[in-house]
Amino acid sequence: MATCATCPHACDLKPGQLGLCRSRRASDDGSRVLPEGYGRVTSLALDPIEKKPISCWRAGTTVLSLGSYGCNMRCPFCQNASIATAAADDIAWREVTPEEIVSTALDLRGRDCIGIAYTYNEPLVNWEFLRDTGTLAREAGLVNVLVSNGMATEAVLSEVAPLVDAANIDLKCFTDEGYRKLGGDLHAVKRTIEALAASPACHLEVTTLVVPGLSDDEEQVDAMARYLSELDPHIVYHLTRFFPRHRMSAADPTPVRTLHRLREVASNHLATVLIGNV
């Protein structure tokens, strides 16, 4: 049996067994865990950097955004469930190399492309591809943008964080119980945020999807904003409106007035609080 060291779930996998993220699999002899999703791209697009969202860094530029499949959380409100909850047999993908991705990004410089964004599904479940692509991108003068739920081990962070020029990390709620319900680990997410906030080369923004009943109360948002301000009061904080998706398709959207009220709360601690999807 092999133990995956990519995230706090630490899946113990029998030979050939797929991990919870559906992107990593134990080798046939059970001696190690392999990144089955390495280089398997389901989505590739040229996006404005503001769409990530990275709102206060290199505005007006674009990034080559790529996604694979799989995720190590199980949020019932997932906005990208078609790829985040998929395994290889569930979705169309094509295999690319880090060299091909970097070459494509370089070819797009005439369209204001400054680098590569690892996004759409959870990129850290295939952190080796991010590491290899990001290293080549850095050598080519391109930037690396990480959009992630932050659910990674310290070992993965040590490999990836030095390559990240800008990041947006989801902070889904601020209680251990809330994260457990989502299949996540608040401590691990905070560790990721803290590591990136401490990196002098990384511009950090944080997003909370304001989901009714999970992350829409003033006390919790106040606590999250206070926590971020203690790391750096200039961290850009996004409060994003929830719309019905996935297993919460029958829920109501977050009232716009709730977003405005919570922005006032968070602004007591942080210099820049933005609301989205309104």
Please write the tens of the pLDDT for every residue from 105-162.
999 999 999 999 999 999 999 999 999 999 999 999 999 999 999 999 999 999 999 9
Beta bridge partners of 118: 66, 146
CB atoms inside a 10 Å sphere around CB 220: 18
Model confidence at 82, in pLDDT bands (50, 70, 90)? very high
> What is the pTM (predicted TM-score) of this model?
0.97
Give the amino acid at 236. V
2-15 burial code (b ≥16 CB/10 A, e <16): bebebbebebebee
Q: Which percentage of the chain shows pLDDT scores above 70? A: 100
Q: How confident is the model at residue 11 (pLDDT cuts 50, 70, 90)?
A: very high
Domain containing residue 43: 2-276
Strand pairing report for 40-41 and 94-95: antiparallel
Q: Mean pLDDT throughout 219-244? A: 98
**How many domains are contained in the chain?**
1
Q: Give the residue-averaged pLDDT of 19-28.
A: 97
Mean of the pLDDT values across residues 19-37? 97
pLDDT score, position 41: 98
Residue 116 tokens, joined: 């590569």
DSSP classification of residue 224 = H
CA 244 from centre of chain: 20
* CATH for 19: 3.20.20.70
Q: Using pLDDT thresholds of 50, 70 and 90, give the confidence band for residue 261.
A: very high
Average pLDDT of the residues in 62-89? 96
Cβ atoms of residues 245 and 77 within 8 Å: yes
